[in-house]
Chains A and B, each alone.
Chain A
């Protein structure tokens, strides 16, 4: 029997480490100018929060990375991570 559930997933997309992130650098410089000297590096990315219905946890764990790779991130320059935030059955 299929679970009838709402599930929230959070996907973080950011530039790969090898890619220059001028926005992150700009934020870092701004923070330094405010006196937060202890900040060594800043990388800026995107957050996607997606609400799914009718998928099992296993199905979600399979399809969300595919969606992330195909649409949400550009695999040439970006990496992503997926997390199930809550799962209301």
Chain B
């Protein structure tokens, strides 16, 4: 299968994501420049982390108007797999492909640390290689990761099992102490109604090689690969 990693001015996790997919997972991977109108037949499009447009105005606010987003939106509406990581998640929300918005972390600190994530939904294209209840150790690096959505949207997410990952403790317990940034419901990752678009604040590309301290992020990429190749 083929992965496409979008690059915006200010993206900085594009190479990490590219290298993991190409070298660790041995996948055909290409970069997609935000100004073009070509997804190069990618089976899965990834919006990587970083600070697109310097987070000017709001994180992801200007990236949503990039030319390539037209194609990404159409691709997503037709059922194509799209994964937004960190800034990528923010962009997907600004695009309206995922509900909600990110506020500043509750403690007003840039958080750069490993977190524990409870896998809530193991049926998605992005997580079916895991098991519900698994606790994944994946790092976060963000200042605006405090997930917010109006009550009706939260209700929709919860009742339709669209919350995929939650901040938890090492035993998988969801509590306030584990909620590093104040996100509603400890929400760290969600999917859209049709299950083909996922956004997550933690960085699975930073947890795909043992050298970096955890390989729990592999589940995400391997799930996508297995799903497309089956």
Residues of A within 8 A of B (CB): 15, 19-20, 22-23, 26, 71-72, 74, 76-77
**Complex A-B, nearest 9 residue pairs according to Cβ-Cβ distance, in ascending order:** A76-B101, A77-B101, A22-B108, A74-B101, A74-B58, A22-B104, A77-B148, A22-B106, A26-B108
- Chain B contributes a number of interface residues (CB within 8 A of A) equal to 17
Q: A76-B148, A76-B149, A77-B148 are in contact. Are A71 and B104 (CB under 8 A)?
A: no
Contact of B57 among A15, A20, A71 (CB under 8 A): A71
Contact of A74 among B94, B107, B108 (CB under 8 A): B94
**Chain A binding surface SS class:** mixed
Q: Is B148 in contact with A19, judged by CB distance below 8 angstroms?
A: yes
- Any A CB within 8 A of the CB of B103: yes
- Any A CB within 8 A of the CB of B178: no
Interface pairs (27), CB distance under 8 Å:
A15-B103, A19-B103, A19-B148, A20-B103, A20-B106, A20-B182, A22-B104, A22-B106, A22-B107, A22-B108, A23-B104, A23-B108, A26-B108, A71-B57, A71-B61, A72-B57, A74-B58, A74-B94, A74-B101, A76-B93, A76-B100, A76-B101, A76-B148, A76-B149, A76-B150, A77-B103, A77-B148
Hey, which chain A residues are within 8 Å of B148, CB to CB? 19, 76-77
Hey, which chain B residues are within 8 Å of A72, CB to CB? 57
Q: Which residue of B lies closest to A48 (CB)?
A: B57
CA gap between A23 and B103 in the complex, in Å: 11
Contact with A along B178-197 (1 / 0, CB 8 A): 00001000000000000000
CA gap between A26 and B100 in the complex, in Å: 24
Count, A-B residue pairs, CB within 8 A: 30
CA gap between A19 and B146 in the complex, in Å: 11
Q: Which residue of B lies closest to A25 (CB)?
A: B108
A19, A23, A76 — most chain B CB neighbours (10 Å): A76
Known A-B contacts: A22-B104, A23-B108, A71-B65. Give 7 more (CB < 8 A).
A19-B103, A20-B106, A23-B104, A26-B108, A74-B94, A76-B148, A77-B148
CA gap between A15 and B103 in the complex, in Å: 10
CA gap between A74 and B62 in the complex, in Å: 11
CA gap between A26 and B104 in the complex, in Å: 13
CA gap between A20 and B58 in the complex, in Å: 16
Hey, which chain A residues are within 8 Å of B100, CB to CB? 76
CA gap between A26 and B105 in the complex, in Å: 13
B94, B101, B106, B107 — most chain A CB neighbours (10 Å): B101
